[in-house]
Amino acid sequence: MTLQDELKSMGLIDDSRSNHLATNELDEYQSMLEMTMNDETLTSAAKAEIVDLLIRLNSAPK
């Protein structure tokens, strides 16, 4: 599953839009994920998923 597929499954990307994610959209998702990490109600597993997504966002070709 690609990062875009994962973001679609999370409802962060609308399927009617182009499959291409612009750099500013990736930056926006990264920012949103980083802010979510500060939520103290998240489980360790949820935080691990967010860290994984952040790593993949940072390694995605821009």
Q: How far is CA 12 from the centre of its chain?
A: 8
Give the pLDDT score at 16: 58
Give the pLDDT score at 21: 59
Give the pLDDT score at 33: 83
Domain ranges of the chain: 3-11+20-59
Question: Distance (Å, rounded) from C-alpha 26 to C-alpha 40?
Answer: 24
Question: Distance (Å, rounded) from C-alpha 14 to C-alpha 10?
Answer: 10
* 2-52 confidence digits (pLDDT tens): 776 777 777 666 655 554 556 677 778 788 888 888 888 888 888 888 888
For residue 37, which of 52, 25, 56, 26 has the smallest C-alpha distance?
A: 52
